[in-house]
Each structure stands twice: as C-alpha cells, then as structure tokens.
C-alpha cells in the first residue's frame, strides 16, 4: 500500500513537472515566433540601409558610381529597375491584387555624388519604401540625377511617367520634417570684372589655402557653414584695413555648381621685410578658424606656404574692387520672419580671379518673394558701387502648392499619422526643390514636396506604405 501511494505521488510530481515544461516551451515559442510590428520592420530596414549607404559613400566618386549603387541595390532585392541617358534610376512596382484600380503614384528623390551626404536621408527613406511587403497600388520611385547641383534636373524626368501619374511626391533632405506648402525659389548671379596685370611691387609670394570642408547643397542650414571664399576675402579686407601691403596674384575657389564651396586659395605678394608681420596675422587667422570650426569639420585645413614669385600681379584698382565686393556681399542668412523662420539666404559659390575676366558666382534663395528680390537688389547695388558688372544667370520661382496638392498633402498627412500616431506640419520649406521646375512644366500636376530628416526617414517610408495601400 505504501509503495502504491509512493508511486502515485511520483507520477503526480512527474505530471506537474511535464506540465511546467510544456507551459515554458509554449511561452518561449510564442515569444520567439511573435511577428515584429510594421514599425519595427521599417525602423530596422531604414537603419540597415542607412549604414550600408554611408559605408558606401567613399566609393561614390562620380555620378555613375551612385547610379550603379542604386541599380545594384534594386537588382539584389529583385526590384524591377532601369536607368536612362540622364542618369535617372527608375524602380517600378506593379499593383497588388485588389489595388489595381488605384491610379499610379510617382515618388521622386534627387541624388548628386558631389554632395551625396546631403541626400542620404531622403534616399534611405525611398529605399526603405521600395522594400514594402504590404499591399499597394502601382507606383514608381525615380532617383533623379541632380549632378553638381543641377537645378534643371526636373526637365530630364521622362514625361510619360509624370503625365500618367495621379500623384507625385518629391523627397528632399530638410532641417525639419514637414509637408511643404511652398519651397524656396532660387536665383544665380555672376559678377565680372576685366583683369589688368602689372609688375609686382613686392618680392615674396605666399599661397593661402582653405580646403577639406564638406560638400553640401545650399539650404538655410548649410549657408551658415564656413565659406572659404568669404573667409579669405575677409582676410584680404583685414589686411587692407590694418595697412598690410600686398599685391593679389590670384584668387580661386568653389565651382560653378550651386553648392557650398569646399575650398579656396589666394596667392599674394608682400615685402620680404613684412614676413614676420604677415605670418603672424596668418597664424592668428588660422588659429581663430580652427578654434571655431576644427572640431565640427575635422577634415578641414587652413594653411599657407611660400611659393615662387610671379611675373605679374593684378592691378590694385581691380583688387580693391574685388575685395570690397567680397567683404560687403551678403553670404549666409539674410532674413528671418517674426517666428524666426529663415525666409531668404545666399551663398558665394565660386570665384575665379586669374586671367582675362574675373568672375564671382552667387546663389540667392528663399520663399519670401519680396526678400529674395531685395537680396538681388542688394547685390546689384554693391556691384555698381564697386564698378563690377552684374548679371542674372538663371532663376526658378518659389514653388507654392496648388489646391489639388493641398488635398493630397492632407491625405498623406493622415496616412503618416495613422502609421506613426503623431502629427506632421504642413509648412514652407526653406530650400529649393525641383518642384519649381515641375510646377512650371506640368501646371496641373498633383504635386507635394516632403522634408525628410535623419530621425524621420523611417516614418516617411511607413507613411507612404500606409498611403499606397489605400484606394484613392
């Protein structure tokens, strides 16, 4: 009897243990097989794609290499892809079952190897969307070649894609996440003056160089970066104000693309007797610059060296005019409204003072039309006062959203909120977008610009996934 009771007790204990093990296994299995949420999937993909993109930037040394990256990326993911003569890369997605009647959507995203980091967030957001596993209508993602800051790139998008689209979105890197009800217009100016050469007055030549600054598209944030052209122009103005005598041999920097210049250099000739004075001032200027910017831009360099004496230098009257213009020309934020929003700004993008005719290129931008015109008038006045010729090279108007675009913006905003459960501002975008060109070329286009940041690159991808899964 005792043995029977003992056996029953053992069996009971074994059954309890087995039940506990089964329960633990069930709990573990449920936890391990739990499907990740859409937000978790999107966030993980966006982080992974951003890491891969940034790691690949060093190999993106021309526009073709970025095109190749985007094409290879799609091919590796089984996405239908093509590239065209203009360098545009087109990803195409057929409608899912049940959403065939949803009219086509086109999502545009620029890219430019010369300032590729400025495009990283919008590109990654587009790539994340491209891996959408959820039901969606027909759409295309077009990566538009904006090589060397090309402001005409919108004209190079195949018209057939845009004309058949019911809605078109442009993704732009921005300083704040938003849907744009306007984006900045842009005007490019050039200032010129004939160069006259004379024999040097002095006998020792120095070359001063600033280089290694990051390439960047021109926007309200980047114009506050150090501009090497403006910095060296101020250096020469400081020399003149302190009676440091010199002849200017040449002044070069930047490029004719509408971008923040990454380098500039001047060559001057001074008296050998003034060597210690000149070098002391240069050392002080370099120390001040590096103290201010060295930590933020560790690749930046500011240096000087003694170089061979030139046979000729630039006439002092020409030098005086150029230095006066560089010193007084607006470069950075020009105007803020009562809410501290930047509505107009400018950047000196290039200078070439070597032979023949000197040229200085400037970009002015903003979404306040009055202030943008005022900025242009300011440049024209400065040119007149310094006896330098003034010319407007190119311009694109401020983009303002249409009534149809406003309705689309509200619809997308609702999709964004549905995905992220927080709101999204509809506000002016402080930078130029190709929407200016597209609105001129296709006045009836249902067009919306989106401002993407690093923090919201995944949110916008998720917003598009929700949006594309709805019938219009």
Burial 349-358 (b: 16+ CB within 10 A, else e): bbbbbeeeeb
Please tell me the pTM assigned to this model: 0.87
Sorted by where each starts, the structural domains of the chain and their CATH numbers stand as 38-184+399-468 (3.40.630.10), 196-355 (3.30.70.360)
Q: What are phi and psi of 46, to 5 degrees?
A: -60, -45
Q: Cα–Cα distance between 296 and 453 in angstroms, integer?
A: 19
Q: Cα–Cα distance between 358 and 194 in angstroms, integer?
A: 6
Q: What are phi and psi of 358, to 5 degrees?
A: -75, 150
pLDDT computed for residue 467 by the predictor: 97
Q: Angle at which helices 120-130 and 38-56 pack, to 10 degrees?
A: 130
Residue spans of the chain under pLDDT 50: 1-2, 4, 7, 10-11, 14-18, 20-31
Q: Over the stretch 3-19, which tens digit does the pLDDT of each residue have?
A: 545 545 544 554 444 45
The DSSP code sequence of 336-392 is: E-TT--EEEEEEEEEEEESSSEEEEEEEEEES-HHHHHHHHHHHHHHHHHTT-EEEE
Instruction: Tell me which residue of 123, 183, 114 sits closest to 433, measured CA to CA.
Output: 183
pLDDT computed for residue 339 by the predictor: 87
Contact predicate 161/332, CB 8 Å = no
pLDDT computed for residue 471 by the predictor: 85
pLDDT computed for residue 419 by the predictor: 95
The runs of H, that is alpha helices, within 227-360 are 228-241, 275-293, 316-328
pLDDT computed for residue 472 by the predictor: 76
Contact predicate 187/365, CB 8 Å = yes
pLDDT computed for residue 25 by the predictor: 44
Pairing verdict, β 204-211 and 389-396: unpaired
pLDDT computed for residue 215 by the predictor: 87
What's the residue count for the chain? 472
pLDDT computed for residue 30 by the predictor: 47
Q: Cα–Cα distance between 274 and 218 in angstroms, integer?
A: 39
pLDDT computed for residue 7 by the predictor: 46
């Amino acid at each position: 009897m005792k043995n029977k009771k003992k056996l029953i007790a053992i069996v009971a204990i074994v059954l309890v243990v087995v039940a506990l093990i089964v329960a633990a296994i069930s709990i573990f299995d449920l936890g391990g097989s739990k499907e990740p949420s859409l937000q978790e999937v999107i966030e993980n993909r966006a982080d992974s794609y951003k890491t891969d993109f940034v790691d690949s930037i060093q190999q993106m040394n021309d526009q073709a290499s970025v095109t190749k990256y985007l094409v290879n990326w799609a091919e590796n993911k089984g996405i239908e892809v093509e590239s065209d003569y203009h360098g545009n890369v087109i990803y195409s997605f057929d409608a899912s079952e049940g959403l065939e009647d949803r009219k086509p959507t086109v999502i545009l995203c620029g890219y430019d190897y010369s300032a590729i980091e400025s495009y990283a967030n919008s590109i990654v957001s587009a790539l994340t969307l491209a891996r959408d596993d959820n039901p969606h209508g027909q759409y295309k993602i077009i990566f538009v070649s904006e090589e060397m800051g090309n402001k005409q790139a919108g004209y190079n998008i195949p018209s057939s894609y845009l004309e058949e689209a019911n809605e078109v979105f442009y993704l732009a890197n921005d300083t704040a996440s938003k849907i744009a009800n306007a984006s900045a217009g842009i005007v490019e100016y050039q200032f010129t003056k004939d160069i006259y050469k004379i024999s040097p007055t002095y006998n020792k030549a120095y070359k001063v160089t600033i280089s290694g600054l990051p390439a960047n598209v021109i926007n309200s944030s980047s114009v506050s970066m150090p501009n090497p052209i403006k910095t060296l122009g101020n250096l020469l103005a400081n020399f003149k104000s302190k009676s440091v005598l010199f002849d200017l041999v040449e002044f070069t920097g930047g490029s004719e693309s509408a971008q923040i210049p990454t380098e500039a250099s001047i060559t001057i000739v001074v008296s050998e007797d003034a060597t210690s004075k000149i070098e002391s001032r240069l050392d002080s200027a370099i120390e001040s610059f590096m103290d201010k910017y060295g930590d933020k831009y560790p690749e930046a360099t500011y240096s000087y060296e003694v170089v061979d004496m030139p046979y000729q230098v630039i006439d002092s009257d020409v030098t005086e005019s150029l230095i006066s213009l560089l010193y007084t020309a607006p470069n950075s934020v020009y105007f803020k409204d009562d809410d501290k929003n930047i509505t107009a700004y400018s950047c000196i993008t290039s200078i070439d003072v070597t032979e023949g005719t000197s040229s200085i290129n400037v970009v002015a931008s903003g979404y306040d039309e009055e202030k943008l015109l005022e900025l242009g008038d300011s440049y024209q006045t400065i040119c007149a006062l310094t006896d330098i010729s003034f010319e407007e090279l190119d311009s694109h108007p401020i983009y303002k959203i249409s009534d149809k675009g406003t309705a689309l913006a509200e619809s997308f905003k609702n999709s964004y909120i549905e995905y992220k459960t927080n709101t999204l501002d509809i506000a002016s975008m402080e930078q130029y977008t190709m929407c200016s060109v597209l609105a001129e070329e296709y006045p009836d286009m249902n067009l919306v610009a989106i401002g993407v940041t690093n923090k919201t690159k995944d949110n916008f991808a998720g917003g598009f996934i929700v949006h594309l899964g709805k019938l219009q």
